Homo-oligomer: A and B are copies of this chain.
Amino acid sequence: MTKKILVLPGDGIGPEIVTEAMKVLNVFVDEGSLNIEAEYAHIGGAGYDAEGKPYPKSTQTLAKAADAILLGAVGGPKYDTLDRPLRPERGLLAIRADLGLYANLRPAILYEELASASSLKPELVANLDIMIVRELTGDIYFGQPRGIETLPNGERRGFNTMVYTESEIERIGRTAFDTAMKRGKKLCSVDKANVLETTELWREVMIRIGKDYPEVELSHLYVDNAAMQLVRAPKQFDVMVTGNIFGDILSDAAAMLTGSIGMLPSASLNKSGVGMYEPIHGSAPDIAGKGIANPLATILSVAMMLRYSLNQPELATRIEAAVKQVLAQGKRTGDIYTEGCEKVDTIAMGAAIVAAL
C-alpha cells in the first residue's frame, strides 16, 4: 500500500536538511522496499510568506490526509515582529493540536564517536541512551482560561491554566510504559506532586496503570530533582515521561547533555500512529542557505518515521547503522567537527549516508 508523506521544509536550514533526508528515503523507494507518495507544503514563516498564516489551510488539508509528516524547522528573526498568532511557532503548536499528536518521543543518544562533544565528563555520558516521552497536546500549553486581563486598579495580570484529565495522563502513560517495555524496562515519571494538584493526579494515574506493566520498574521524581539528576548522572535513566511544559525543559536539557543536538531526531504521534518527525534543533537562521547544516537529525527523524508510522523497522535500523558507519568514517559537519576528522557540507553528508546504504 502506498503511504502518503507530507514534507514541510519550513524555515531557515529546514529546506536544506529536508532535501538530504528525502534523498535517503528515496533510496528505499528506488530499491523497491518502500512505496510512498510525497507532497510538499508550507509551515511556519514559510506558511506566513506564502499564505499569510503559519499553518495554512492547504497545509492542514494535506496534513490530515497524510500517514506521516517530515518537518524541517520553523522560525527566524524576520518573523519576530509579527503579531504573536502569526509567528512561526504557532504553526507548530497548531499542527500538533490539530492532528492530536499527543506523544512526543525525544531520544537523547550520545554516539561513541561524538563523546567528547558533551559538556559533561565523558565517563558520565558515554553511550547515553535516554528516551523522553513528553505529552504534547495538553498542559499549560493549551489550557483555558488564559490571557492578560486588566484589574480594577488598572494593572494587568497574566494567567495560564495547567490542566490534565485522567484519560490524557493514562494515554501518554501507556505510550511511555509500552516504550519502556521495548527498552530497558525502567520508567521515571516526572511531576511536581508536592505542590501542584494537576501532577498529584498525574502521579496517581501513573501508579495505577503501572499495575498493568509489572515488568517495568516505575519511579517518580519531582521536576527540580529530575533536572539535577540529569546533570549529575544521566545514565541512571532509561525512559522518562512527563507533561508538556516540564518535558519541554527536561528534553532540551537532556539533548544538550549529548553536546550534539545536530544529531537528535523526534517523533510526535497521535492515537492512529500518524506521526510528525523533525529534528529537535531549530531553524538556525545564522547558517541558513550556506549549505553547511547537519542533516543527520533529520535523516534520523526519517528512521523514526519508518519505525513508528510506516511499519518498516528494518529500514529504520539500516539508516541508523548508516549514520554510525559515516561517523566511524570520520565525516563531520561543522557543528560536530573535531580535529582529525573530515569536514563535510550538508550535501556531502547526505551523499555519504546514501552511499553507506
Q: A166 contacts B156, CB within 8 Å?
A: yes
Q: B252 contacts A160, CB within 8 Å?
A: no
A121 contacts across to B, CB distance below 8 A = 119-121
Q: Which secondary structure dominates chain A's binding surface?
A: helix
A residues 110-154 with Cβ under 8 Å of B?
A: 119-121, 124, 140-141, 143, 146-148, 151
Q: B160 contacts A162, CB within 8 Å?
A: yes
Question: Does chain B have a CB within 8 A of A161?
Answer: yes
A residues 231-261 with Cβ under 8 Å of B?
A: 231-233, 245-246, 248-253, 255-257, 259, 261
A147 vs B226: C-alpha distance when bound (angstroms): 24
Question: Does chain B have a CB within 8 A of A195?
Answer: yes
In the complex, which of the residues B89, B157, B195 contacts A194, with contact meaning CB atoms closer than 8 Å?
A: B89
In the complex, which of the residues B166, B195, B196, B253 contacts A157, with contact meaning CB atoms closer than 8 Å?
A: B166
Tallying the copies of this chain within the complex gives 2
In the complex, which of the residues B196, B198, B249 contacts A227, with contact meaning CB atoms closer than 8 Å?
A: B249
A160 contacts across to B, CB distance below 8 A = 161-163, 196-198
Min Cβ gap A100→B in Å is 18
A residues 21-72 with Cβ under 8 Å of B?
A: none
Min Cβ gap A225→B in Å is 7
A202 vs B194: C-alpha distance when bound (angstroms): 25
Min Cβ gap A65→B in Å is 28
Q: B227 contacts A250, CB within 8 Å?
A: yes
List A residues at the B interface (Cβ < 8 Å): 84, 87, 89, 93, 119-121, 124, 140-141, 143, 146-148, 151, 155-167, 192, 194-202, 223-225, 227-228, 230-233, 245-246, 248-253, 255-257, 259, 261
